[in-house]
Amino acid sequence: MKINGEIWIVAEQVKGNLKEVSYELLGKAKELAVKDGFPVTAVVMGSGIGALPADLIAHGADKVILIDAPRLLLYQNDIYALVLENLIRKYSPGIVLFSASYSCSELSATVGAKLRTGVAAHSIDLYYNEQGELVQVVPAFGGRVLGEIFCPLTRPIIASIKPGVFKKQAKDTARQGEIIEEPAAGLEHYQSPLKAVTVVQEHLSGVPLEDAEIVLAGGWGVGSAEVWQLLEKLAQSLHGAVGCTRPALDEGWAKGEHELIGVSGKTIRPKVYIGFGISGATHHVVGIKDSGVVINVNNDPNSPVFQISDYGVAADVKELLPKLLEKIEEAK
């Protein structure tokens, strides 16, 4: 069954600010729209978010459906899903793209179940094949395998997309687009069985991992919190960001999940990536494969991590890090 309907993206906003991934979704939707000729529509939901449609249009949306209602102030899965279900039933889009953040991937699965349509998760690529079918490429087995997913029979096709995978379009404030305001249909008589009590989100300092030109990533081989401090220092002096693998996060060395790179973390494409004490496990490596220059430091000269590196350094991380710091301070 061919795609017959608009491409929608569900924009992700937190406290009235659009998340980068919303623009990335628009970028991909535009690319698909060139092929099928349908307009790209962004759906944005929340409360007091009247300024967002213009921003979405500037990033490539042809149409924006705005649902601005007090009950949408906080994301809550059942409420958002009900509103989206009604909206999708009304407009019958062909494709709906979501961010693969925790909340939006949950939302995509819930909406898919309500509409009884197929959902592809954490897609890293989307394209039309020669038969005109939408191919959704998803990682499996911790990124070791990429699989194609098709949704042959039901519409819309729903996919959630990993942040950082697609490129956004340049912002163009001169772009024109249509803004449609819709009510939060379905909520009039809906009493949620759940009560959202609070949202707690910490503000992060430093260069965001996904924007940094140089990323220093540490793995289990870093060995201790003290050596990790050196890694942080080096990142600071290079104006770069620190990333980590799951074991380094579990050890409590890395600051939090926002530093995690790979299948269950971020996808990055810095100019230079330097890995310290990283084993080369696929679930980390898939998150860095589009980086410019990849350097890895590992004390095991036979480490498989060197197979995915442009430059390999067989050295003890705790000896090399201070040396690097010293050299970079000298160079300044």
Partner 1 sequence: MLKFSEQQEQLRKVVRDFVEKEIATIASKIDQEDTCPVELLRMTAQLGYNGVFVPECYQGVGLGYTERAIILEEIARHSAGFALALMTHHLGVYAILTWGNEEQKQKYLPKLCSGSIAGLAVTEPGGGSDFAGMKSTGELVDGYWVLNGRKCFITNSHCADINIVVVRTGEDEKGRPRMSVFVIDENTPGCKPGRKEKKTGLKGSDMGDVILDNVKVPASNLIGKPGDGAKIGLGTISEVGRSGMAAIGLGILRACLEDSVKFAKERIIYGRPLAKLTNIQFIIAQNRTDYEAGRLLTYNAVGIKDAGLPCVPEISIAKYFTTEAAINTAKRTIDLMGGYGVICDYPVDRYLRDAVASIPSGGTSYVMQIIIAGSALS
Partner 2 sequence: MNIAVCVKPVPDPKFYDKITINPETKLLERNKIPMAINPSDKNAIEAAMRLKELLGAKVILISMAPPEAKEVLKEGLAMGIDEAYLLSDRAFAGADTYATAKTLAAGLNKIGLFDLILTGSESVDGGTSHVPSQLGEMMGMPHLNHVMAVETEGDILKIKTKIENGYMLYEGLPPMVLGVSKEINTPRYVSLMGVVKAQGKPFTVWGLNDLQLNADDVGLAGSLTQPGSLRTPPIDRKVEMLDGDIEEKAEKILKILYAAGVLN
94 binds, among partner 1, partner 2, none (CB under 5 to 8 A by kind): none
Those residues whose C-beta lies under 8 Å from the C-beta of residue 325, and which sit 6 or more positions away, are 230, 233, 234, 237
Q: Least CB distance from residue 220 to partner 1, whole Å?
A: 9
Q: Please report, for residues 257, 264, 308, the alpha-carbon distance to residue 288 in angstroms, rounded to integers and kept in the order given.
A: 16, 13, 10
Does 77 sit near partner 2 (CB under 8 A)? yes
Q: Does 204 bind partner 2 (CB under 8 A)?
A: yes
* Residue from the set 148, 257, 290, 300 that interacts with partner 1 by CB under 8 A: 300
In whole angstroms, the minimum distance from the beta carbon of 300 to partner 1 comes to 7
The span from the CA of 266 to the CA of 8, in Å, is 24
Task: Give Cα separations from 331 to 212, 233, 273 (angstroms).
Answer: 21, 15, 20
300 or 310, CB closer to partner 1? Answer: 300
Q: How far is the CB of 284 from partner 1 (least distance, A)?
A: 18
Using the rule CB under 8 A, is 271 a contact of partner 2? yes
Distance CA(42)–CA(65), nearest Å, equals 6
The answer to whether the CB of 197 falls within 8 A of the CB of 74 is no
304 binds partner 1 (CB under 8 A): yes
* The total number of residues written for the chain in this structure: 332
DSSP state of 88: H
Q: From residue 29 to residue 68, what is the string marking binding to partner 2 with x (rule CB under 8 A)?
A: ----------------------------------------
What is the widest separation between alpha-carbon atoms in the chain?
Answer: 68
- The closest of 149, 129, 130 to 139, measured between CA atoms, is 149
For residue 41, give the nearest of 103, 96, 117 by alpha carbon.
Answer: 96
**Which amino acid is located at 188 in the chain?**
E
CA-to-CA distance for 321 and 238, rounded, in angstroms? 13
Of partner 1, partner 2, none, which one does residue 20 interact with (CB within 5 to 8 Å by kind)? none
Q: Is 173 annotated as a binding residue?
A: no
* Least spacing, CB of residue 312 vs partner 2, in Å: 5
**Any contact of residue 299 with partner 1 (CB under 8 A)?**
yes
CB of 78 to partner 2, least distance (A): 6
Give whichever of 226 and 311 is closer to partner 2, judged by the CB atom: 311
Q: Which is nearer to partner 1, 43 or 308 (CB)?
A: 308
Q: Which of 153, 173, 174, 205 binds partner 2 (CB under 8 A)?
A: 153
Among 22, 41, 101, 267, binds partner 2 (CB under 8 A): 101
Sequence-distant (6+) residues with CB within 8 A of 167 are 24, 27
Could you tell me if 72 and 45 are in contact, meaning their C-beta atoms sit under 8 angstroms apart? yes
Based on CB atoms, which residue is closest to partner 1, 128 or 220? Answer: 220
C-alpha triplet 195, 98, 21: angle, nearest 5°:
105
Residue 118 interacts, among partner 2, partner 1, none and using kind-specific CB cut-offs from 5 to 8 Å, with partner 2
Feature table: binding site for FAD:
245-246, 277-284, 298
Contact residues for partner 1 (CB under 8 A)? Answer: 299-300, 302, 304
Residues annotated within a binding site = 245-246, 277-284, 298
